[in-house]
Structure 1
Amino acid sequence: MRFSTLLLGGIALAAATPVFAQDSAPPKPITVTGSVGLVSDYRFRGVSQSDENLAIQGGLTATHESGLYVGTWGSNLAGWGTFGGANMELDLIAGFKLPVGGGSLDVGATWYMYPNGFDNTDFIEPYAKLSGTAGPVNLTAGVAFAPKQEALGPWYSNGTSAANGVYDRPGAKDSNLYLWGDVSSGVPGTGLTVKGHIGYSNGNKGLGPFATSVAPTGEYFDWLLGADYTIPSTPLTLGVAYVDTDIGRGESAYLQPSFSEGQDGTGSIANGKVVVSLTAAF
């Protein structure tokens, strides 16, 4: 009897409450978003970090209503670059995003780290990116500059030295510049989003500690063309993209055998490849 009375009273109260009051609940001061996914090849700025094999990736981001955010992202690694520790990359990210005109400005920094690895393979990279729209097209332009650090220095002048574990310039430091632009647009009524990316790297020419490098040939371009399909009534997105660089076989010959799948000295881990991904967002 008590339950019936409470239920009827609740229905009456809901009916007497103006509809607009239901929409006036204040937004949460902090929101948490994340994703987990599987990719056929982990490409970082066009270069494989998983020896052209599968990688499991995921991340979390907590965003304050002020625009401040912190996050983390991780992936398994393989092959090129042992990073002196676990076969894993773990990024720590922090920044501030604010509205600018009809778009947004995002300023922050990423700390690239490799758990149980050596400190000289970790590095920090501040970034800034400006996003906006032009009709149905989403546009982003960004710049990332990592100041001089040991992780970015040319400790090995060539891949043979790296394979033999003989440093040519131990303790060397260098900086790295990365410029990029992204474009994407949804195809109405299809669940498809087409996308493109182009990036430019300028840094050390050679390999860093444990054969790592952000710009192994000194400078190069990378690009991507692809599409994402959001599967209806699910949090899943299926992606297909062609990824490539302008790093030619002759240009990267001095990096061999370290710059090849399986480190066998044949092929390149910066060649063109179709990458497939399946991601769940939450």
Structure 2
Amino acid sequence: MKIFKLALAAATASVALGGAAMAQEVSLSYNVGIASDYVFRGVSQTNEDPQVFGGVDLGYGVGYAGVWASNVDFGTDDPTVEVDFYAGVKPTVGDVSMDFGVLYYGYSKDKGLTPGKYSYTELKAALSKPVGKATIGGAVYFSPEWPGDLSTAVYYEANGSIPLNDKFSLSGALGKQTIEDGADYTTWNLGVAYALNEKLSLDVRYWDTSEHDFGSIYDSRVAVSLKASF
């Protein structure tokens, strides 16, 4: 009888979970935009030239997946296009939102699985929590195959945002990029976003790094972006 009750409970739970899964809806969203510069972790990815980008995101319950693409220019004849693929889950515990995912940064005209290649993978763990009107968070990204020498790398970030009114919001981040057998640096950014309407937003952001000696793409800069989301 005890075994029967356990089996019945398991069956009931399966039906309940199945019903919950069926109740979930697949959501699709799209984005496209332009920017005066493509800045990633404080470093220009377009050799300080403009950017055109776009992506598609799919959501199902706490799960998500997506693809995003942009032009790039590393001052070489190699990659001209970046295409990223990502997937993960975003569970919540109380008012804490978490994000566990994997990202693949792919580049055109790559060199394959050899030193000097550009494409690489990162694992992501992030969380955020509302504090009053503001939201604060942190994230860690780990790569086992950093571009160039295929060494491991870790990026740590603390971030926050706060709405100023119905249209304006302020956000910023402080991060540290560490690379095994490579050059570490610190980066930070602060910017204001303005919602032109429900689908169109404008962002003006100041970026900087601790290592201007690495080259002009590591210098301080202001990037302006216009993004449409559907």
| TM-score when normalising by structure 2 | 0.83
1:157 aligns with none
Within the alignment, does 1:134 sit opposite 2:111 as a pair? no
Mapped to 2, the partners of 1:248 and 1:270 lie a distance apart of 5
1:174 lines up with 2:140 in the alignment: no
- 2:172 aligned with 1:196, yes or no? yes
What is the total number of aligned residue pairs between the two structures? 205
Structure 1 or 2: more strand by fraction: 2
Q: Which structure 2 residue ranges, 5 or more long, are not aligned?
A: 1-21
Task: Name the residue aligned to 2:195.
Answer: 230
Secondary structure class of the residue paired with 1:275:
strand
Equivalent runs, 1:61-76 vs 2, <5 Å: 61-65=57-61, 67-76=62-71
Instruction: Check conservation: 1:152, 1:175, Cα contact below 8 A.
Output: no
| Distance in 2 of aligned mates of 1:239 and 1:205 | 35
Contact 2:175 2:187 in 1 (8 A): yes
Residue pair 2:208, 2:219 contacting (<8 A) in 1 also: yes
- Alpha-carbon offset, residue 230 of structure 1: 0.1
Which structure 1 residue ranges, 4+ long, deviate > 3 Å from structure 2?
Answer: 79-82
Structure 1 residues without counterparts, runs of 5 or longer: 1-25, 154-172, 207-217, 253-258, 260-267
Confirm or deny: 8 A CA contact 1:201 1:220 kept in the other structure. yes
- Kindly state the Cα deviation for residue 248 of structure 1 after the two structures are TM-superposed: 3.1
Q: What is aligned with 2:84?
A: 91
- Once residues 63 and 33 of structure 1 are traced to their aligned partners in structure 2, the CA distance between those partners, rounded to angstroms, is 9
Aligned to 1:37: 33
Contact 2:41 2:187 in 1 (8 A): yes
Task: Tell me, yes or no, if the aligned pair for 2:58 and 2:65 is still in contact at 8 Å.
Answer: yes
Q: Map residues 144-223 of structure 1 onto 2, 5 A cutoff.
A: 144-147=141-144, 149=145, 151-153=147-149, 173-189=150-166, 191-204=167-180, 218-223=183-188
Distance 2:219 2:210 in 1: 8
Deviations 1:190-226 (A, max 9, x none): x0001111110000455xxxxxxxxxxx111101011
Verify the 8 A CA contact 1:240 1:274 in the aligned structure 2: yes
Superposed CA RMSD: 1.8
Q: Is 2:218 aligned against 1:270? A: yes
User: Structure 1 77/184 Cα, relative in aligned 2: closer, same or farther at 3 Å?
Assistant: same
Q: Which residue of the other structure, out of 198, 201, 211, is the alignment partner of 1:247?
A: 211
> 5 Å matches for 1:83-122?
84=78, 86-120=79-113, 121=117, 122=119
**Contact 2:151–2:181 under 8 Å retained in 1:** no
**What secondary structure is seen at the aligned counterpart in 2 of 1:269?**
helix
Residue identity over aligned pairs, in percent, reads: 31
Per the alignment, in what secondary structure is the counterpart of residue 117 of structure 1? coil
Distance 2:26 2:186 in 1: 37
